[in-house]
Structure 1
Amino acid sequence: MRFSTLSLLATVASAAFSFAAPVTPASNALEARCLCQDIDSIIVDVTTTIRPLLLELTYITTENCTVEILTPIVTEIKTTITTAITEVKALSGTALVTVLTTVDGVVLTVFEVAALVCELLTLIFYALGAVLSVVSAANRVAVTALLVEVAEIVATLLQLILNLVGGLLIVLLPLLGEVLSIILSLGATSCFGFLSVSWSTVSSTVVESATTVFSTSATTIFSTAVATITSA
């Protein structure tokens, strides 16, 4: 009798475990997400980390716009982006639903990923544009070369993200007007060949009032980007 009772309890417990919660793609993705990063966390983390560094770049003046002053800031920016590159590479081969599932269990749409990427690229390139707009003729070549190093590593990160999230490029590209202009002004178009942009139609005007981007909240930038791509 004792054996039968224990067997019955074990059977009931097993059944309860089996039927406690339905297994869905979203729940599977959330469970898998615990084992690795997701695209939302990676982009948000890198954006949050480099924002203060990019803000420093917008405070650069003609008098202190030199390689010596800029190098420590640029090095930190590159290190942060390199970490993000490693994290994105680690997602290769992971199911897309897992990649897009946030820590809260929300599965992002391609439009929402585009908004996140747009914010990151806007902050980076407006900061680079701010530096480019104040550099003296004497320092322009050396400083521009330093900024191009940032552009190159950003291009690597962007290409990896585009490869990971199918259909992202077609949604993202219309949002990158001024970003493309600054890439052109830097002479870094070869790094972004994968965008298949007709660079002859892009204006090379450098954005001078880049600090306004940093005075706008991330939420506003995100919301504007989402509104733009969903109304297209």
Structure 2
Amino acid sequence: MRFSTLSLLATVASAAFSFAAPVTPTENALEARCLCQDIHSIITDVTTTITPLVTELTYITSDNCTVEVLTPIIGEIKGVLSTAISQVQGLTGKTVVTLLTTVDGVLLTVTDVAQLVVGLLNLIFGALAVVLKVVTSVNAAAVIALLCEVVELVAELLQAILNVVGGLLAILLPLVGEVVLSVIATLGLISKFSFLSVTWSTVSSTVFSTAFTSTYTSLSTAIATATATA
């Protein structure tokens, strides 16, 4: 499956989110704007808030794909995701109607929620794929470590959403694209997504840059060790 990350990012960014998205401080703006009473508010708010941040990643080139450049962006993305995780966990115990009814009174279906989640996953992983395509061997280890921090939070957020929205996984899984799964596999974080029950041996690694491909084998053990002890 061929995948245009820039096209995907443009599509998601122009989706029907009618409110403006502040960038700094992102997690505070997200928390203030979201009433945290329904899953739609949380996912749409985090998607809108994170869009300008991940868009910055799509402009990264091999010349500036460094820890110094990426760390501030990654830090803000992590803040948004951490806030969203807390908000979703706060929905535990609420009724299905409360979870799935939007602030406008629209009762979502589980399929509607799956589409929201896929949009967020595509947005994040599409941007990370861009970074992986341009990272050079000299910066690969440090950059990979940063990306792993983001993906681990995505795993935590996704699992939290699945825990509160019953029946979501069966509908969501067929919608998850190759780039999402490829980035997870590339970063050696399959175990963090074991709850997806994906047959990872069938996932094609199509997002590697030449430099990344040539260095990944030697780096993977060190990355896995660092991740396991984090």
Could you state the TM-score of these two structures normalised by the residue count of structure 1? 0.73
Q: Give the aligned residue type for 1:191.
A: K
Structure 2 unmatched runs, 5+ = 1-33, 210-230
Match of 2:212 in 1: none
Query: What are the residue-to-residue correspondences of 1:28-47 with 2, within 5 Å?
Result: 36-47=36-47
CA RMSD of the aligned region, Å?
A: 1.5
Q: Give the aligned residue type for 1:79.
A: G
Once the two structures are TM-superposed, the CA of residue 44 in structure 1 deviates from its matched residue by 0.2
Could you say what secondary structure the match of 1:85 adopts? helix
Match of 2:191 in 1: 190
- For residues 45-66 of structure 1, give each alpha carbon's deviation from its aligned partner in whole angstroms, at most 9, with x where no partner exists: 0000000000000100000000
Match of 1:203 in 2: 204
Once the two structures are TM-superposed, the CA of residue 39 in structure 1 deviates from its matched residue by 0.2
CA distance in 1, matches of 2:35, 2:116: 22
Match of 1:129 in 2: 129
Find out whether 1:147 has 2:147 as its counterpart: yes
Moved over 3 A (4+): none
Once the two structures are TM-superposed, the CA of residue 185 in structure 1 deviates from its matched residue by 1.5
Match of 1:100 in 2: 100
Once the two structures are TM-superposed, the CA of residue 183 in structure 1 deviates from its matched residue by 1.2
**2:89 and 2:160 in contact (8 A); partners too:** yes
Change over 3 Å in CA distance of 1:138–1:165 after alignment to 2: same
**2:36 and 2:42 in contact (8 A); partners too:** no
Change over 3 Å in CA distance of 1:71–1:36 after alignment to 2: closer
Could you say what secondary structure the match of 1:64 adopts? coil
Match of 1:8 in 2: none
Q: Give the aligned residue type for 1:146.
A: L
- For residues 162-214 of structure 1, give each alpha carbon's deviation from its aligned partner in whole angstroms, at most 9, with x where no partner exists: 01111111111111122111211222211111111111111111188xxxxxx
Structure 1 unmatched runs, 5+ = 1-33, 209-232
Please identify which structure carries the higher helix content: 1
Once the two structures are TM-superposed, the CA of residue 43 in structure 1 deviates from its matched residue by 0.1
